Amino acid sequence: MILCVFGDSIAHGYSDSEGGWVARINAHFGREAIQNPDLDYPTVYNLGVSGDTTEDLLLRIEAETAAREWEDEEIFLIIAIGTNDCARKPTELQVTENKSKKNLNAIVERMKPVTDGIIMLGVPAVDEGRTAPVDWVDATYLNTDLAIMETAIAEVAKEQEVTYVPVFPYFVQSLEETELLDDGLHPNDVGHALIAQLVLSKINVASESDFDEEVDEE
d(CA 72, CA 5): 20
Task: Outline where DSSP puts E strands in the chain.
Answer: 2-7, 43-48, 75-80, 118-121, 163-165, 203-204, 210-211
d(CA 98, CA 205): 35
Tell me if 218 is assigned to some domain. no
- Domain residues for the domain of 60 are 2-210
Whichever domain contains 105, its CATH number is 3.40.50.1110
Tell me if 217 is assigned to some domain. no
Q: How many domains does the chain have?
A: 1
Tell me if 110 is assigned to some domain. yes
Q: What is the pLDDT along the chain (218 residues), one digit of tens a residue?
A: 899 999 999 999 999 999 999 999 999 999 999 999 888 889 999 999 999 999 999 999 999 999 999 988 999 999 999 999 999 998 999 999 999 999 999 999 999 999 999 999 999 999 999 999 999 999 999 999 999 999 999 999 999 999 999 999 999 999 888 999 999 999 999 999 999 999 999 886 433 444 444 444 44
